[in-house]
Structure 1
Amino acid sequence: MTNTPPEPKSFPMPLWLQGIVEALAAAFIGAAIIVVPLAIMWITGAFASMPLGDAGAIGAYMWFSSFGVPLDLVSVDTQDPVGTWWFIPLGLLLVWVLLARRVGARLAKASQLRTLWQPTLGAIAAFTFFVWGTNTLVSLDAVVLNATLAVTIPAVVFVLGYAWGALGYFRIPLREYIGGRVDRLSDAARNFWHYLWALIRAATIAVAGAWAIASIVLSVQIGMHWAEVTDVYQRLDAGIFGGFVITVLQILVLPNVAAWTLSYLTGAGFRIGTLEVSPAGTLPGEQPALPIFSAIPTQQALQEHWWLLLLLLLAGILAGWWFFGAGENHLEDFIVAKIPNPPTAITVGVLLTGVCIGVSAGVLCLGIMAISGGSWAIGTLTAIGAPPLLAAGLFAAHIGIGSALGYAMAPLRHGAFRWAKPAKD
């Protein structure tokens, strides 16, 4: 018999309280990403004689705008509207989504699928309360904020990231459940859903491939104009910390610039205020003093750079090639069954496959172009980014043509067009 005292019992934290703690942690981390650099800049005198409260309000409004909340700017003297700031640094938005995804994954790991609603309600309520409290506590005479949008938009972004993490953790049981439900459908309905899912994946592959091509072109362009980029850094003379902040800011907007490069490769081009850029040429105008913008091409001509318009076909070829391997083209099966002439049926099937993949990829591109641009509401910088409808339409055409080519060439990997060797006597 020993005199060892019993270990104290531990009481697990309730799931709803875990949701509150995790959501608030993500909110504070996100706020610190913006507030801490601004606080250092205020301490070093970057804001001159601006009160600390106004500097904090600027940080809060920057945090709101990074989610996509529009900021109505007004004149301090006359209270006349100046314009609407609406611009989402896609790199920063990705950080917010990943923070919310981490919350969803951690809470899903701590609970079961049937009890996931408890931490979910706690997390969403806590994050929404944090956003509402931030909007209530800060104010700036030059900025007018719609309270409903200021609370709703960040909450929606948090919910999307949270759902990504939580459902991703339970992906296996969800996949089995959805698969069981689909298997109970009729053959026609099951084929439709399999075809639609394969089509979405092919469109995603096309967009990812096009994004990679645009990123490579952007990297090459920056490398070719690195001297101009460093010259702007030297002219800004922002110091060590200021240069660091400018570099981080450019990294956060790099996905936006990659999206504009993608629009450039479609032929639609993009604009930064009065500066318009396209493969046919560049209309000069004022541009922000960001070093990365010094890499914008200014002397290109369509006669010399027409081949740039063919690069996106590679992403379409990749998508069509993959779609053939997926083996879920039930639309082509339907066409072959309805048209008795095989060459005609296959030709129609290939063309419709290209159209379907192109349209699906164009819809995804439309969403990317819509959130990659906006307005800076400063002088002539009232329009930033690519024309969404034109860029998405041209992108759909590029991907559609490339997908048809890739789908038609895909049988080559299976030896469908090899000549048969004559049999030996």
Structure 2
Amino acid sequence: MRLTTGRGSQQGIPMPLWLQGAFESAQAAVISALLVLLPLAGVWWADGFQNKSFAGLARLGGQIWLVMHAVPLNLTFNNGPSSASVQNGTLSLVPLGLAVIPFLLSWRAGRRLARASYTDQLWQAVLGALLAYAAAGMGTAFICETAEVRASLPLGTLIPLIPVGLGLIIGARREAGTWGRLIGVDAADWIAATSQHSRWAGSYAWAAVRAGFVALLGALALSALLLVVDIVWHWSDIVAVYEGLKTGVVGGIALTIIQLSFLPNLVIWTLAWASGAGFALGVGSSVSPLGTVVAPVPAIPVLGALPVGEFSWGVVAMVINVLAGALAGWWFLRAGENHFDEWLAIKVKTRWFTATVSTLALGAVIGASAGIFAGVLALLAHGSSGLGRLTDIGPDFATTAVWVAVEVAVGVVVGYAAGPWLEREPKDAAHVSGGESG
């Protein structure tokens, strides 16, 4: 049987699955490349580049295409006649707003491939898609190499497969509905064969991980709101930088597009800043609610919204992750089952002790889950601009993970403890409901 019913059998393309996978993958590669080249073509048309050849434009577009797939670029510049003036560096700061493009295109391709595949055969389509995309990455890294900028062929071949592979698998899973229909193995049967304690432990851990993800989403939403408020508050400073650059209409549009591509990075930086961990904007710099110490930064308009000075009202923003943790604790109370509390209550009859210990343990587990998620985002939003001081940009993985984990854990304890009071129905409403039913 096909992975989906009805329309799957009607829309299947009559070609080998591996070839269809390659076609879908090539389509995603071409569309993502065009989305990169179109803004560059506008700047090129307005004489915004010194190198006015179309080949130079294509190579620049290919290099940006590699960066949007998280492929690091090795930079080499010579500022003088001697070899001592040669500077080397690595550009590894990924614009996450662009990185989501190949993921979404692959997600769409995964859904289409799932509709055309039978159970246990999807691997053929996925393998064909990955091989085609690997070839596109290797070809781009080879063709777009210059004396100043080059990408490692192995990295250019393999790293793009990470966002593409995730998109394919998640998209196929979304279309199939279950992992059993996707890979032919029913996990429910395997889980049913385990012991009751194992099922309880698995259910508890899975609910805690989902609660950690809820906490992360809440923290990101509040951080995005804080970023918007900060940009509006410093709008005059941002406009002043635009005016000072004198880029013209086309240049201003291109500069805005570049900044928008880093918008997810800025949200993650704001999350790290609000947690107290802060982020770096150059070697030896620190931007956090506890104080800001940075050297002169590049003339990028959005950086005009950077907080300045020492300890200030910004420390109030550290409540963001606590609020997100409280939301996660309340969510766990509604959607999860605290099997650890049940097990502990069986072993120890002192209820005030078991309730306290189980709640603190829940806060630690959910906090650790949220901290790991936040640390991964911090790792994705961290990188290097290649040369000079700006080889350390963004939040640190470990520091961000620890700060977020602790603050979310505190919020979980508060939210889980206060949850029963929030869920309790008012007496007047209960009385009215009982009277109407009578």
TM-score, normalization: structure 2?
0.88
Structure 1: how far apart are the matches of 2:178 and 2:277?
42
Q: Aligned match of 2:122 in 112, 116, 120?
A: 116
Aligned counterpart, 1:295: 305
Structure 2: how far apart are the matches of 1:284 and 1:229?
18
CA deviations over 1:331-387 (Å, ceiling 9, x no partner): 222222222211011111111110111111111111010110111023221110112
For these two proteins, the number of residue pairs brought into alignment is: 411
SS at match of 2:385: coil
Note the C-alpha offset of 1:45. Answer: 1.7
CA deviations over 1:33-73 (Å, ceiling 9, x no partner): 11232233223221124543333222212211222212121
Aligned counterpart, 1:163: 169
Structure 1: how far apart are the matches of 2:267 and 2:417?
30
Aligned counterpart, 1:71: 73
Matches within 5 A, 1:346-361: 346-361=355-370
Structure 1: how far apart are the matches of 2:349 and 2:93?
54
Matching of residue 36 in structure 1 with residue 29 in structure 2? no
Matching of residue 180 in structure 1 with residue 189 in structure 2? yes
Note the C-alpha offset of 1:213. Answer: 0.8
Structure 2: how far apart are the matches of 1:414 and 1:230?
47
Note the C-alpha offset of 1:132. Answer: 1.6
Structure 2: how far apart are the matches of 1:396 and 1:155?
30
Matching of residue 283 in structure 1 with residue 293 in structure 2? yes
Aligned counterpart, 1:246: 255
CA deviations over 1:287-319 (Å, ceiling 9, x no partner): 1222111111114633x3432222221100000
Once the two structures are overlaid, the 10-residue window that deviates more, 390-399 or 289-298, is 289-298
Matches within 5 A, 1:188-337: 188-273=197-282, 275-299=285-309, 301-302=311-312, 304-337=313-346
Structure 2: how far apart are the matches of 1:247 and 1:113?
46
Matched letter for residue 395 of structure 1: V
Matched letter for residue 161 of structure 1: G
Structure 2: how far apart are the matches of 1:380 and 1:327?
47
Once the two structures are overlaid, the 10-residue window that deviates more, 394-403 or 375-384, is 375-384
Matched letter for residue 289 of structure 2: P
Matches within 5 A, 1:372-383: 372-383=381-392
CA deviations over 1:179-226 (Å, ceiling 9, x no partner): 333222210111121112101110000000000111010000001111
Structure 2: how far apart are the matches of 1:240 and 1:174?
53
Aligned counterpart, 1:342: 351
Tell me if structure 2 keeps the 8 A contact 1:72–1:81.
no
Compared CA separation, residues 138 and 306, structure 1 to 2 (3 A): closer
CA deviations over 1:223-271 (Å, ceiling 9, x no partner): 1111111222222222222211111111111110111111111111112
Note the C-alpha offset of 1:90. Answer: 1.1
Structure 2: how far apart are the matches of 1:327 and 1:49?
59
Structure 1: how far apart are the matches of 2:66 and 2:260?
19
Structure 1: how far apart are the matches of 2:282 and 2:160?
27
Aligned counterpart, 1:17: 19
Tell me if structure 2 keeps the 8 A contact 1:26–1:99.
yes
Identity %: 34
SS at match of 1:166: helix
Aligned counterpart, 2:7: none
Tell me if structure 2 keeps the 8 A contact 1:75–1:142.
yes
Matching of residue 402 in structure 1 with residue 411 in structure 2? yes
Matched letter for residue 359 of structure 1: A
Moved over 4 A (4+): none
Structure 2: how far apart are the matches of 1:398 and 1:415?
26
- In structure 2, stretches of 5+ residues that fail to align are 1-11, 432-438
Structure 1: how far apart are the matches of 2:149 and 2:334?
54
SS at match of 2:159: helix
Matching of residue 104 in structure 1 with residue 119 in structure 2? no
Structure 1: how far apart are the matches of 2:387 and 2:298?
10
Aligned counterpart, 2:434: none
Compared CA separation, residues 332 and 122, structure 1 to 2 (3 A): same
